[in-house]
Structure 1
Amino acid sequence: MMSFGGVAAETVMLYPNIFHDAPASLERARDFLTVSGPSDYFPPLGASVVLLGVATTVLTWRDRRLRWWVAAATMVFVAGEFLFSVVFFWPRNEIMFVDPVGTHSPQYLRQVAEEFVAGHRVRLVGGAVTAALAFTALLRWARTPSGARSTGTVVTAGRSDGSGG
């Protein structure tokens, strides 16, 4: 959920400034993001989310109510954030922000920037799906009575004294 918040904030605050007038806006972004930028924040956050997602999947696997919600959240995050970033975003980041200025034509940089923004919309949807799955798992866990959490049993509503009345 934190990762989705970060990506959503980046979408609203940074991307309009970075991509509104490529290639000039890309050069300004290079000048602005010299000390730190998204590449300093998101890789460590993503790695921690993957590790915690895998750990949470393992630790909740025995609870059938949570198992597939947590596993699905982890899988969607790994596919939608990590794998999609490696395959789609990293090469475009290289073109826009690492290659020396003047290496690529303005037309090509505009095309790459448009592709990046379109791909980012897909990533944003994946982040929303991940957050929804993780939040659903959290709600299901929170609605479990604390005694049932520690014993692994499921408590249902009704009378337990057998009086029937």
Structure 2
Amino acid sequence: MKKMVLYAIVAFSSGLFFTNIYNSIVNAANWESNIPQSITATRDFFVVANPGTFFKLIDPTNMLLIVLALILYWKKSSSIRLVLSIALLCYVSSMILTFTYFYPRNEVMFLSAQLPGTETLKEVASDWGRMNWVRSLLFLAGLTCSFLALDNATSSTQKLS
């Protein structure tokens, strides 16, 4: 059961990391090209769902799994507790960054009633694209810690056998 939680964390963390990389390589690149038409097209396309729809489901689920794993491994292994705590810190930091940095820019680009001027959109889209790589690094650090926790759990199980 305990290791299954760690496997789930690695799966969810991988999904978050690679989806965020996709956003940088594909979405942000498209948003930054041919402004304001690219932003208008994105607004029209993201009517029902958008990348945030994915992150609002997977990110909190991943954090809950990390908290569950912390509880399960709290007394069992200080090394697992440490890397899971760092992973949780990375994901909490990414959520803080999302709410404080990305949501306001999403509002300007995609949700405001009136489309801002072209220069404003270019600046906001460029800022979004650059800063998303920072968020990707946070996801990568969290994913790395998740793998380390799983590796530590697997290694400690093998030593006991």
Range into which the TM-score falls when normalised by the shorter chain: 0.7 to 0.9
The 3-state SS of whatever aligns with 1:89 is helix
Residue among 63, 66, 85 paired with 1:53? 66
CA RMSD of superposed structures (Å): 1.7
**Given the two structures, how large is their TM-score scaled by the length of structure 1?**
0.81
Per-residue CA deviation, residues 20-72 of structure 1 (Å, 9 max, x unaligned), is 23222111111122222112111111111121122212221221121101110
- Determine if the alignment matches structure 1 residue 76 to structure 2 residue 65: no
Shift of residue 18 of structure 1?
2.4
**Percent identity among equivalent residues?**
22
- Are 1:19 and 1:25, in contact at CA under 8 Å, matched by a contact in 2? yes
Unaligned runs of 5+ in 1: 149-154, 156-165
Number of residue equivalences: 147
Shift of residue 147 of structure 1?
7.9
Residue among 129, 149, 154 paired with 1:117? 129
Report which structure shows greater RCO (CA 8 Å, sep ≥6): 2
- What is the distance in 1 between the residues matched to 2:69 and 2:89? 12
**Given the two structures, how large is their TM-score scaled by the length of structure 2?**
0.83
Point out the structure with the larger helix share: 2
- Are 2:31 and 2:125, in contact at CA under 8 Å, matched by a contact in 1? no
The 3-state SS of whatever aligns with 1:21 is coil
- Determine if the alignment matches structure 1 residue 140 to structure 2 residue 152: yes
The 3-state SS of whatever aligns with 2:156 is coil
- What is the distance in 2 between the residues matched to 1:74 and 1:94? 27
- What is the distance in 1 between the residues matched to 2:21 and 2:154? 26
Task: Kindly provide the amino acid, as one letter, of the partner of residue 37 in structure 2.
Answer: A
- Determine if the alignment matches structure 1 residue 7 to structure 2 residue 7: no
Poorly superposed stretches of 4+, deviation over 6 Å: none
Q: Which has the larger radius of gyration?
A: 1
Unaligned runs of 5+ in 2: 1-12
Shift of residue 78 of structure 1?
0.6
